[in-house]
Each structure stands twice: as structure tokens, then as C-alpha cells.
């Protein structure tokens, strides 16, 4: 397994290096001596946008669960795990960290965050743990660990896996100008989809099409439907060169 670590004393919160270990015992030593993250970032630069991959997942519990409740949970699901208490842990207010292991490496930020969310939606853990740029300070002590199953990674649709729709003018309407049909058929690059959808919607509005027809024509642009509809509505409200519409 790999993860991100840096020396706790005098560490830079933005610079990390990869740690590579084979056992939960070796991980336990890291968790009590280093600032670390289950995420590995490109060039060791801690940032959500630099997410590279993750073998592990981790949760913080800040008095919302007792240690025994957490231990009972991991025993119930028979999960590989390491549990360590943090410096703010108190006998009457349990503050600790749970580390689990994915059953396969996650190489996409969306997959990582959505798989974490499915746990956070059911466990009383800190929601910030789903962040792909999250790091953790050292635990003061490891209090429980066990071997067991790795956590299954559920398939999640992402921009990388979502099939690119292709547009064919003959299947939509003859009201689409050839230049627009050609751009839609080629595919709109990521980063310019909202701007392009707005520009196209203005042209289609001026050609007399209604909003629903415009949304149908522009559906090949890879945008969430509600976002596409908002963009088309903005075009309808935009006054272009004194247009009376």
C-alpha cells in the first residue's frame, strides 16, 4: 500500500512524499509519527486537484462514536483496519481515527470521494474526510488493529468513463446550421462546454426554436441536464443587440 507522509516536526503542510509499506504494523508506526494522508498527490504537492491515487481510506470521529462502537463495527464487517486515538481524546469524549484499505487502487478523484461518501452518509464521521486533499496529524496511540477484508470499490460514473455523446443533425432538426452540427459531432472540449452551449443556444433562439428543442439539440454536450437547462435559460434572458425577445 502507498500513502502520503511528511515528518511531523517542522513539516510543510503542502509538501509530501510517498510512503510504501506492506503491513498494518508498519502503518501504525507511521500514523503515530508523521503527518500523513490516504491520498497520494502528483509531485507530492498536497492539493485536491493533484490527486493521483489512493489505496487507503480514513475517518475522524469527534465524540460521535465510542471506541467500542467502532471496534464492534469493524469486527462485524470483518475489515482490515487500524484505529488510533488523537491528542484530544478523553475518557468521556472519544476522538479517534479509523483507517481501512480499498480492495483496489482508486485512480480518480470522483471515484475516491463518492466511495468515501457512501460511508460518511451512514457513519457518524467527519464529512471533511471525503476531501481528496485531506491530511491527518499523528495519532497519539494505536489502540486496535485487525486483519480482514479490504473495502470494495464501487463503480462510479466519471468524466473519464462517461461515454461521449455524438450528434447527428438528421436525427434532430434541419434548423441546426451546418457549422454547429459539425462542432457538436466533433465533440466540445472540456473547459468550454458552458460557454459553447450558451453561444449555440443564442443562435438557436434567434432561429425560432424553443427552450426544450434547444436542450434536446445541445444534449450531446457533456453537461448535467440541470446545468444545460440553466445555460439555455440564461441565453433566453440575454438581450442580444436589442433583441425584443
pLDDT tens per residue across span 76-97:
989 999 999 999 999 989 999 9
CATH code of 53's domain: 3.90.920
Q: Are residues 31 and 77 in the same domain?
A: yes
The cell for 78 is 470483518
pLDDT in tens, 154-192: 877 666 655 555 444 433 445 677 778 777 776 777 778
Residue 100 has pLDDT above 50, yes or no: yes
Residue 24's pLDDT is 72
Claim to verify: residue 113 and residue 11 sit in the same structural domain:
yes
Q: Is 161 part of any domain?
A: no
pLDDT higher for 79 or 2?
79
What does the pLDDT average to over 2-8? 65
Q: Which residue has the higher pLDDT, 159 or 245?
A: 159
Task: Please write the tens of the pLDDT for every residue from 104-116.
Answer: 999 999 999 999 8
For residue 29, give the nearest of 79, 99, 126, 94 by alpha carbon. 99
The pLDDT value recorded for residue 13 is: 56
> What pLDDT score was predicted for residue 243?
43
Evaluate whether residue 158 is within a structural domain.
Answer: no
Indicate if 41 and 98 belong to the same structural domain.
yes
Q: Per the domain annotation, does 153 fall within a domain?
A: no
Of 23-37, 121-135, 168-182, give the range with the top mean pLDDT. 121-135
The H or E element spanning position 61 is: strand 51-62
Task: Kindly give the residue spans of alpha helices, DSSP state H, lying in 4-154.
Answer: 24-31, 67-77, 109-120
Residue 218 covered by a domain: yes
Could you tell me if residue 29 is inside a domain? yes
- Is residue 154 one of the residues assigned to a domain? no
Please indicate, yes or no, whether residues 112 and 221 belong to a single structural domain of this protein. no
Helices 193-206 & 225-237, crossing angle to 10 degrees? 50
Partners of 81 in beta bridges? 100, 146
- Tell me if 6 sits within 8 A of 16, measured CB to CB: yes
pTM (2 d.p.): 0.61
Q: Is there a domain that residue 184 lies in? A: yes
Based on the fold, state whether residues 117 and 177 are members of the same structural domain: no
Model pLDDT, residue 240 = 47
Domain that holds residue 174: 169-236
Query: Is 196 found in the same domain as 93?
Result: no
CA dist 82 and 183 (Å) reads 52
Q: Is the pLDDT of residue 216 over 80?
A: yes
Indicate whether 48 and 142 sit together in one domain. Answer: yes
Is 22 in the same domain as 89? yes
Please count the residues of the chain: 245
pLDDT of residue 203: 85
Domain count, the chain: 2
Specify if 152 maps to a domain: no
User: Are 86 and 192 in a shared domain?
Assistant: no
At residue 106's C-alpha, the angle toward residues 103 and 112, to 5°, is 105
Contacting residues for 55 by C-beta, under 8 A, at least 6 apart:
1, 2, 3, 38, 101, 102, 105, 106
Please indicate, yes or no, whether residues 13 and 120 belong to a single structural domain of this protein: yes
Q: Do 142 and 175 belong together in one domain?
A: no
Together in a domain, 14 and 125: yes
Amino acid at each position: 500500500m502507498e500513502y502520503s507522509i511528511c515528518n511531523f516536526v517542522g513539516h510543510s503542510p503542502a509538501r509530501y512524499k510517498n510512503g510504501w509499506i506492506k503491513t498494518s504494523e508498519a502503518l501504525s508506526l507511521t500514523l503515530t509519527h508523521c503527518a500523513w494522508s490516504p491520498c497520494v498527490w502528483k509531485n507530492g504537492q498536497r492539493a485536491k486537484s493533484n490527486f493521483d491515487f489512493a489505496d487507503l481510506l480514513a475517518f475522524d470521529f469527534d465524540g460521535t462514536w465510542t471506541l467500542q462502537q467502532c471496534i464492534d463495527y469493524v469486527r462485524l464487517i470483518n475489515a482490515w483496519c487500524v484505529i488510533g486515538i488523537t491528542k484530544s481524546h478523553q475518557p468521556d469524549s472519544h476522538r479517534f481515527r479509523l483507517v481501512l484499505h480499498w480492495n483496489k487502487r482508486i485512480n480518480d478523484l470522483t471515484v475516491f470521494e463518492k466511495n468515501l461518501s457512501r460511508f460518511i452518509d451512514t457513519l457518524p464521521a467527519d464529512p471533511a474526510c471525503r476531501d481528496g486533499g485531506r491530511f491527518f496529524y499523528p495519532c497519539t496511540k494505536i489502540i486496535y488493529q485487525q486483519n480482514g477484508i479490504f473495502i470494495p470499490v464501487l463503480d462510479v460514473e466519471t468524466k473519464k468513463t462517461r461515454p461521449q455523446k455524438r450528434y447527428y443533425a438528421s436525427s434532430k432538426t434541419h434548423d441546426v446550421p451546418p457549422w454547429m452540427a459539425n462542432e457538436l459531432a466533433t465533440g466540445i472540449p472540456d473547459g468550454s462546454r458552458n460557454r459553447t452551449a450558451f453561444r449555440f443556444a443564442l443562435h438557436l433562439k434567434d432561429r425560432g426554436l424553443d427552450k426544450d428543442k434547444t436542450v434536446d439539440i445541445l444534449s450531446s454536450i457533456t453537461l448535467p441536464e440541470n446545468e444545460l437547462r440553466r445555460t439555455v435559460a440564461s441565453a433566453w434572458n440575454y438581450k442580444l443587440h436589442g433583441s425584443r425577445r
